[in-house]
Structure 1
Amino acid sequence: MMNSQPAIADHGLIGDLQTSALVATDGTIDWFCSPRFDSPSIFGSLLDRERGGHFSAHPHDDTFETKQLYFPDTAILITRFLTEQGVGEVIDFMPATSDTPSEHHRLLRVVRCVRGTIQFDIEIAPRFEYGRQAHRLTTTDDGATYTAGDTTLTLSVIRNPDDDRLARLKPTDEGDLRLSLRLVEGQMRGVVLQTGGDTPPKAMPVAEAQRLFDGTVEFWQDWVGQSTYTGRWREELQRSAITLKLLTYAPSGGLVAAPTAGLPEQIGGERNWDYRFTWVRDASFSVNTLVRMGFYDEAAAFGQWLRARVAEPTGSDTGPLNIMYRVDGDPHLSEETLEDWEGYRGSYPVRIGNGAAGQLQLDIYGEAMEAIWNADRAGVEVGQPGWLAICRLLDWLADNWDQPEEGIWETRGGRKNFTYGRLMCWVAFDRAIRLATVRGRPAPLDRWIAERDAIYDQIMAKGWSAERRAFVQQYGEPVLDASLLKMAQVGFVSPHDPMWTDTLTAMEELVSDSLVYRYDPSASPDGLRGSEGTFSLCTFLYVDALARADRLDEARVTFEKMLTYANHLGLFSEEIALTGEQIGNFPQAFTHLALIDAAITLNDRLDAASARRRRRR
């Protein structure tokens, strides 16, 4: 049984492009779902220390220090242990899978002594189906097999032929397994965990583990090498790009919002959602972001995923698009609570599935069209069937944009007339008009132009508050909302328009030492108890908005401050608490997308300002 839960930020992420695992700084894998991101957990002690299951690897001596790093330009995680007897490492990685959905996934934990001597204690304690399904353990000379219903988990040892086989392999009464490995300087051993299949364990030679390590290094470094970005903060952007790649389900091109479920937006609170799905919004933003970095294949894959959703309407009464889908594009999601799970640091309920899937969120249509427009400009053109689907989508939006909705933040306090939703409906018509004009596609342009202009007039009349001197969250209310920081980015207003500069000044009300809140829940009830931290996405949106308004010094300081809230590996969760700790699901794709966008915008504006100064000289 685990004694404590590590901080959310005390984790690194590994994965194989179909699923992933979190590895804590103490060497424990405390979150792993297989065969997909949205499958039931096998290790989940991050959310329940007793029922969740874990896979730990650490020195036998409890007095040690740890350091964690990624092997350069890869998703291979190295956890280093510093003890009085020597220095050891646990090297965690998952060889990348193909683009075909698979039940078979390999997770390698290679342990190595780099100085002196060290004994590693390894414990494998899986808990299947969120701990709801019992398992049976059988051992062989080469490892062990865990069986739970139709699910099989195989553990194989990494060793040399002359190694002592079972001297320190110990099954427990609970059906778990313990293994001790005493190593001297230069020795490398470990274990391989494989999901799926019915083959018995087979020892892996150390040389084979080294070959898989080398192949994984080559895969990631070749991928990172495609980046065309050469500006400031290059290392931070590359780490964010690798994180986004890790959150991609390769068979469909879908991007999960985060690999975790149930991590709280407030410690002890009820805002504990499951983010292991693909949001239209996140996938849409990713297209433009990855194009800006030169990752055209991934942008094209996300674009194809999105176009498939547009071409396959859900038939829902909330419109032709769901706000989120399972990673394979399945629109059917439901939400349930793991009643017996304690939650991260007592944050209950622990939810799996997501009940917001059936909400009406009008902004997704603008984000989808923005992505399709950007993908088209990058060379991923829309074919005739796709264009007909877009026309059907715009026909629906023309009839339905002027109604209350749940909004971008998925509030559960009822539908309202959110300004951001209207803004993105304007984007939907604007991008469709541009696409039809540039490509010469048949379209009811007169109607689209009329709807676009009607939305513009409505936002100017009802979304602007003369009292606040700012665009506001919803019609008739003076509440500010950080989502509106995108108004200049999408071209609705000029970044130097007085109405926009006044709005940007008013937004300072949501800023706390560079960190930005989404909105004030006390001023705009959202149907949930408690509060939340600052929203990391919004901080990077603020940086982008400041940069576009040529407030470059403020933008740069805000950006640099925000980078100090990253964890030791450069990863961000969804939110930052008042204490400065990371909270919410981790790592969050939306945050890393916004980081890349803000950095590129700021870098370009700084370069332009430097060029102007040189010309003046």
Structure 2
Amino acid sequence: MSQYDHPTNRDPSNKTFEPIEHYGVVGNLETCALVSRRGSVDWFPIPHLESSSAFSRLLDGGGGCFAIQPVDPFESTHRYRERTNVLETTFQTEGGTLRLTDFMAPMTDGESEISERTLFRKLDCLEGNVDLRIVFEPRFDFARTEPTLSATTEGVHATGDETPLCCWTTFAAQPFEIDTAASHATATATLTAGQQEWVGVSYGEAVAPTTETCEQALVETVDYWREWSHSCGNQAECVFGGPWHDLAVRSGLVLKLLTHDETGAIAAAPTTSLPEEIGGVRNWDYRFNWIRDAAFTVQALSNLGHTAEAREYLSWFLDLCRTTTPADLQPLYSLHGESGLAEQTLGHLSGYRDSQPVRIGNEAADQRQLDIYGELLLAVFEATRSGITLAETDWQAICEIVDYVTEIWQEPDSGIWEVRSEPLNFVFSKLMCWVALDRAVDLAEQQGFSAPLDRWRRHREEIRTEILDEGLDPTGSYFVRSFEEDDVLDAATLMIPFVGFLPFDDPRVRATIEAVDDRLTSETGLVYRYDGPDGLPGGEGTFLLCSFWLVDALALTGRVEAAETRLEELIGYVNPVGLLAEEVAESTGQQLGNFPQAFSHIGLINSALHVSRAKGMAVPGTELIGIELGTGATVEAVRDHNHSDT
């Protein structure tokens, strides 16, 4: 329970920052809004996730918000309705109890009278009487523009150079008071036990819905999410069985929220510039479609039984491949496929807890990251295993990518972690180039496609030899981050057995796991990404995806009890509504980085799967036949792809 009984905390206009883990997220498969436990919408890009935000209080105390909360001191709790993305906040005051329900109706192809471009906020007074206050304080274009506010019969209309907003209520005779100088509008009301009212904000249209329409929207939204979400019928027999079952289901719902219904693209996170270190400069915009992240997301959703997303993303990717040469493929794109993501600094925003700069755009789009080709081929390979058929034109585009990998695999790059230092020959990048060739050979053989298999096999073996010759520490015991660095570790090398490069019982695999556990793991059991320079000042928190990777590696090398213990510790960092940011501060346990983060929820889903299946396993790494692993390979595929070496 969160208590907000201090005057500075119960005023929606207060400029203090909420802990990142105090937020929930709602969305409509086009954009997302972050709602704090005190009932304030502090982040809301419109009309799309990569658009500018109309409420940016998350990044600056004066960035604007849309708050509903009791006037009197209160305690509050957050929860989602079971198996939905409908968020409920319950306020407890001395005089009564109020429930606030936040949701957006998902974008669908079906005909409906419901506006998907509305943030609905339902108020239920559960007992007693509650005096409440509504604050509507939009700040268009990341708070670079103060809107013009005008009264309407339903509420307040906000206009400017951006998408207009209409704030409305169903209250009778409860007009907003508009403060023109402060560019905000406020309203107060008293609800009594049993009373229900609606408040909301619509964008791109000025029509306020009726009470009946609001109720219909809630019913349809709950039905949509429950029909979509993972449902096993019998949790005890579910492959995700265990104390993490419901969190795996929640993680799937989070990943679905990050998909863009119109294009099939998948965002890495719905926010920008939430810091990896409080007061630091590692603040990035994650509201884009990373090829790598999206491929992993599709595989995690497939593990939960959601194959439609795999088809939609594969279609998005193949369209991109048919219109872009392999050399011009970027690591990330906008959710609509645009390539221009120039990085800008918003100097007028203070940043979350004074963490500057605040950035929009991401210049990592211009980096060379060779691992993306392997991740793409993994996604295609797994899609065909689930029954998706490739057309001849699709195969031609894939062949061009694979041929390109044979030409450039020896070159340095910026790697999976997008370092801003000089490019290096990262072991993980070489590994994924090997994967690209390996899966392409399999696709050609299994699907009967024409391909230069002898040349592909030759290059695959050359990459393998290079990794084994240059990618180990000087003693040849464990894998390091790059060919240029003798003893710098990288948690990404934990993936070596998962993609079939070496078997789980190989001594170099086991030594790599031990090295990561010994040198990259904090006292609390969380894992840092790497221990070498990256061209940026300051530090960062422990990385949740890498922490889940270590759980997976422990589980599939026979240390099942240790893996289970680590997983139970990891899920202790999940916030009260089941959400995870990118990182966790070792010293405080607070969440850091953009939120919620797809990578972290991918890790949770896969670790839940691995630990659940590994418990009681007789021979580690060999009996999970047909079960998809963290990067998309199955144990069956891993076994088939393990090539002997000396």
Which category of TM-score, normalised to the shorter sequence, fits these structures? over 0.9
Cross-structure match for 1:132: 144
Partners in 2 of 1:359 and 1:103 — Cα distance?
39
Alpha-carbon offset, residue 561 of structure 1: 0.2
Contact 2:47 2:163 in 1 (8 A): no
Counterparts of 2:598 and 2:482 in 1: how far apart (Å)? 26
Of 287-296 and 480-489, the range deviating more from structure 2: 287-296
1:575 aligned residue (563, 570, 583): 583
Confirm whether residue 437 of structure 1 aligns to residue 445 of structure 2. yes
Alignment partner of 2:364 out of 356, 362, 373 = 356
Change (3 A) 1:484 1:286: same
Q: 1:448 aligns with which of 456, 472, 475?
A: 456
Aligned to 1:586: 595
Instruction: Give CA-to-partner distance per residue, 1:173-216, whole Å, 9 cap, x none.
Output: 3231111121000111131211103x4x44x4433322211111
| Equivalences for residues 187-336 of structure 1 within 5 A | 187-197=195-205, 199=206, 201-202=207-208, 204-225=209-230, 229-232=238-241, 233-313=244-324, 319-336=327-344
| Higher mean C-alpha deviation, range 169-178 or range 148-157 | 169-178
- The two structures, once aligned, show a CA RMSD in angstroms of 1.9
Q: Residue 103 of structure 1: CA displacement?
A: 11
Paired position in structure 2 for 1:98: 108
Residue of structure 1 equivalent to 2:410: 402
- 2:158 aligned residue (140, 146, 150): 146
Counterpart residue type for residue 462 of structure 2:
A
Q: CA deviation at 1:30?
A: 0.5
Other structure's SS at 2:170 match: strand
1:383 is matched with 391
Where is the strand percentage greater, Structure 1 or Structure 2? 1
Structure 1's 607 and 213: CA in aligned 2 closer, same or farther, altered over 3 A?
Answer: farther
Matching of residue 14 in structure 1 with residue 22 in structure 2? no
Count of matched residue pairs: 596
SS of residue paired to 2:416: coil
Comparing 265-274 with 510-519, greater Cα deviation is found at 510-519
One-letter amino acid matched to 1:462: E
Q: Any unmatched runs of 5+ in structure 2?
A: 1-12, 622-646
Write out aligned runs for 1:403-418 (5 A). 403-418=411-426
Please list the CA deviations of residues 381-422 of structure 1 after superposition, one character each: whole Å capped at 9, or x if unmatched. Answer: 211111000011111111111011111100100100100000
Give the deviation of 1:605 after TM superposition.
1.1
**2:297–2:602 CA contact under 8 A, matched in 1:** yes
Distance in 2 of aligned mates of 1:437 and 1:287: 24
> What SS is found at the alignment partner of 2:189?
strand
Distance in 2 between residues matched to 1:103 and 1:364, nearest whole Å: 37
- Residues 314 and 322 of structure 1 are in contact (CA less than 8 Å); yes or no, is this contact kept in structure 2? no
Equivalents in 2 of 1:414, 1:209: separation in Å? 54
| Partner SS for 2:127 | strand
**Which one of the candidate residues 75, 83, 107 is aligned to 2:85?**
75
CA contact (8 A) 1:573 1:588 kept: yes
What code does the residue aligned with 1:164 have? Answer: A
Distance 2:594 2:494 in 1: 23
Partner of 1:91, secondary structure, is strand
- TM-score, normalization: structure 2? 0.90
Identity among equivalent positions (%) equals 39
SS in 2 for 1:145: strand
Match of residue 505 from structure 2: 496
Aligned residue for 1:515? Answer: 526
Distance in 2 between the 1:333 and 1:223 partners?
32
Corresponding letter in the other structure for 1:98: T
Which secondary structure does the structure 1 equivalent of 2:553 belong to?
helix
- Deviates most, 147-156 or 352-361: 147-156
Deviates more, 1:427-436 or 1:599-608: 599-608
- Match of residue 626 from structure 2: none
